[in-house]
Amino acid sequence: MYVRAFWGLMLRDARVLAREFIPFLLRTIMNPLLFTFVFTYVFPKIGAGISPGGSTNVSFATVIAPGLVAVAIFFQGIAAVALPLATELGGTREIEDRVMAPLPVSMVALEKVVWSSLQSIIAAAAVLPMVLLVSAEPVSVTVASWPMLIAVVLLAAFVAGYLGLVIGTVVKPKQIGLIFSLVVVPVTFLGCTYYPWAQLTNIRWLQIVTLINPLVYVCEGLRIALTPGIKHMPAAAVILALLALLAALAYLGTRLFIRRVID
Amino acid sequence: MTAEAQPLSLDLRDVVKRYAPDAPNAVDGIDLAVARGEIFGLLGPNGAGKTTTIGIATTRVKPTSGTVIVTGVDVRAHPSVAKRHIGVVTQFNTLDRACTVEENLYFHGRFFGMPRRTAHARAARLLESFGIGERSQTMVAELSGGLARRTQLACALMHHPEVLFLDEPTTGLDPQSRMALWDSVRGLRETEGMAVVLTTHYIEEADALCDRVAVMNAGKILVCDTPEVIKRNSGDGVLVTLRLREANPALAERLRTLDGVGAVDADEATIKVHVTGADGVVPQVVALAGTDLRDLAVAEPSLETAFIALTGRGLSQ
């Protein structure tokens, strides 16, 4: 019964994204492109190639490829929900129109997360080939396990979406920029994006502390699926952690959204 | 099916809303019944609880207690079903800024399950009848207040609701836009047969548009009847409006003590005096005002006199 209303909401979001698809793609690619270009093209070419350390002999590009894909999913997933939502809940109260659609308020939130997940997946699909193309070093990426890849990408996209829902509901539009600088960027840098978690044994305290960072599990999960040669966390731990995070964030995000929207 | 057997458009029973445990009741046990095809007004000053009442009827506010039934649907138990039958135009411009005028209407139709072609066709018809056909491709952020409000109204009508809720529909509009909106609302009853529930703090709006008016103040409904009956029952009084050189609260107090004076509402340099007594009271009022008086008006019984008589305050506060 609510399917048509849900579909209607998706159509509206699709129209808005289609209108600004090129800017969306550019925004998604820009950061990972520059990073890949500098550290896996320029650095090796000028003789300053980074050695990933540890006991493996893969290139730095291979280590960061899953990490950059993970960041793209995460960052776009959060932004795709949080940024429009902060505006819609702000002065214009544009959220009213969506909430007055004939479906439960919780499904309005779900639609936002589902739509952002689609954008996350598009972002991932754009970043991985880009890394393969740009890097001067060899990138040994294979799909070792399709089920694992699909599971991690989907879980990551939804976790990011619900995290975006929490941020968009709680943070005022003026402070969104601040939150991105204070929270999202540190999460990105310390999410085992540029180094595998297993290699942090020399910085034990960091290895423990970063376990609260959801991005760590996404990166490790993508390493299991794409670059299995690198030592990684057990697959079961990754999946369980992501499922737990998804459950917690979905519950919290939905409750916060409903409370914000209905007096 | 006889008219009596059809469900009421809106049926509120003993509805209470308290926003915080120790706060006063924003809506304090109200009963309202709006019949099918009726244009019903909720008249009251800011803070009376009108917007909260509309919010409760339209699933946007959860009542603390009471029964809320819209076209036979229990709003508290089945909000998503209730939403199918109602259209809402809020005080604020809630149009989708990321879309054009036509897209706002079209997607609203799609939210309500209308197929693509039907939604486009209905959007085009509504845009024509509201005179915004030429602006259909304009982004809504560029619309003036009056056009935006008309677009919101057209949106709300896309899915053929049985009840239309308008919260302060002409606040902030210029006189022409306001007249145009009144005409649209009157026309709705003829073309769509729907009930309209509107809130307003403009007395002339309630008088001009509504079949019945509920006067609301501080969360309670003071009287609910046709405008004629309310005016009649406010007594034989006249409303004397004194415009002074400057505010004079002491004068307002002295006026209150006069025999034959009902309520006195002082708002800055304007004092409205409801005179209920027999002859001679009006000259006494004027005499008391003395040389401070800049201007004077005496008006027949109206909803405004009724309101001041009922609440002891003006609607402008």
Burial B269-308 (b: 16+ CB within 10 A, else e): ebbbbbbbbeeebbebbeebbeeebeeeeeeebbbbbbbb
pLDDT at A50 over 50: yes
Q: What is the DSSP letter of A181?
A: I
Give which of B94, B140, B164, B168 to mutate to test A binding, by max A Cβ within 10 Å: B94
Inter-chain residue contact A12 with B99, CB threshold 8 Å: yes
Q: pLDDT value at position A177? A: 86
Helix axes B101-111, B145-157, angle to 10 degrees: 20
| Residue A224: HSE in the Cβ half-sphere, 13 Å Cα cutoff | 25
Q: pLDDT value at position B1? A: 47
Q: Domain coordinates of chain B in residue numbers?
A: 3-230, 236-300
- CA-based nearest residue to A180, from A32, A76, A60: A76
Q: pLDDT value at position B7? A: 76
**B198 touches B38 (CB < 8 A):** no
Q: pLDDT value at position B145? A: 85
Q: Tokens for B187? A: 């026309």
Contacts of A16 (CB under 8 A, 6+ apart): B98, B99
How many CB atoms are closer than 10 A to CB B72?
13
Q: How far apart are CA A57 and CA A261, in angstroms?
A: 53
The edge-to-edge listing of strands for the beta sheet with B238-244 is: B261-267, B270-275, B238-244, B293-299
Q: pLDDT value at position B269? A: 87
Q: How far apart are CA A42 and CA B270, in angstroms?
A: 77
Q: pLDDT value at position B184? A: 87
Candidate CATH numbers 3.40.50.300, 3.30.310.50, 3.40.50.2000, 3.40.50.720; the one for domain B3-230 = 3.40.50.300
Inter-chain residue contact A104 with B62, CB threshold 8 Å: no
Mean pLDDT across the stretch A258-262? 92
| A176-198: pLDDT as tens digits | 889 888 988 889 889 999 888 88
How many CB atoms are closer than 10 A to CB A159?
31
* Nearest-by-Cβ selection for B97 from A9, A92, A103: A92
pLDDT at A142 over 80: yes
CA A144, A149, A150, A151 dihedral sign is positive
* Nearest-by-Cβ selection for A101 from B97, B104, B111: B111
Q: pLDDT value at position B219? A: 92
- Identify any residues that bridge with B240 across adjacent strands, giving them in sequence order: B273, B298
- Identify any residues that bridge with B198 across adjacent strands, giving them in sequence order: B41, B166
Q: How far apart are CA B125 and CA B121, in angstroms?
A: 6
Distance of CA A96 to the CA centre of its chain: 28
Cα dist from B59 to A220, A227, B5, B63, whole Å: 44, 51, 25, 9
Amino acid at B154: A
Q: How far apart are CA B208 and CA A191, in angstroms?
A: 65
> Domain B236-300 classified CATH 1.10.10?
no
Largest CA distance in chain A: 62
| Residue A94: HSE in the Cβ half-sphere, 13 Å Cα cutoff | 14
Inter-chain residue contact B97 with A5, CB threshold 8 Å: no
Q: pLDDT value at position A173? A: 85
Mean pLDDT across the stretch A137-164? 92
Q: Domain coordinates of chain A in residue numbers?
A: 3-261
Mean pLDDT across the stretch A67-89? 92
* Nearest-by-Cβ selection for B98 from A16, A100, A104: A16
Q: How far apart are CA B101 and CA B87, in angstroms?
A: 17
Residues 84-143 of B with CB under 8 A from A: 84, 88, 90, 92-99, 103-104, 107-108, 110-113
- CA-based nearest residue to A197, from A161, A163, A221, A175: A221
Inter-chain residue contact A15 with B99, CB threshold 8 Å: yes
Q: How far apart are CA B97 and CA B109, in angstroms?
A: 17
Residues for chain A: how many in total?
263
Distance of CA B209 to the CA centre of its chain: 10
pTM of the model: 0.85
Q: How far apart are CA B219 and CA B32, in angstroms?
A: 13
| Residue B269: HSE in the Cβ half-sphere, 13 Å Cα cutoff | 9
Which residues of B fall within a CB distance of 8 Å from A5?
111-113
Average pLDDT, 10 consecutive residues per value, chain B (317 residues): 67 93 90 92 90 94 94 93 94 92 96 95 93 91 90 94 93 87 85 87 88 92 88 72 88 86 84 78 85 86 76 66
Q: Tokens for B3? A: 């008219």
Min Cα distance A259 → chain B (Å) is 10
- Alpha helical stretches, state H, chain A: 3-19, 21-36, 43-45, 60-88, 95-99, 105-134, 146-170, 176-179, 185-189, 204-209, 214-226, 235-261
Which residues of A fall within a CB distance of 8 Å from B111?
5, 8-9, 12, 97-98, 101-102
Contacts of B191 (CB under 8 A, 6+ apart): none
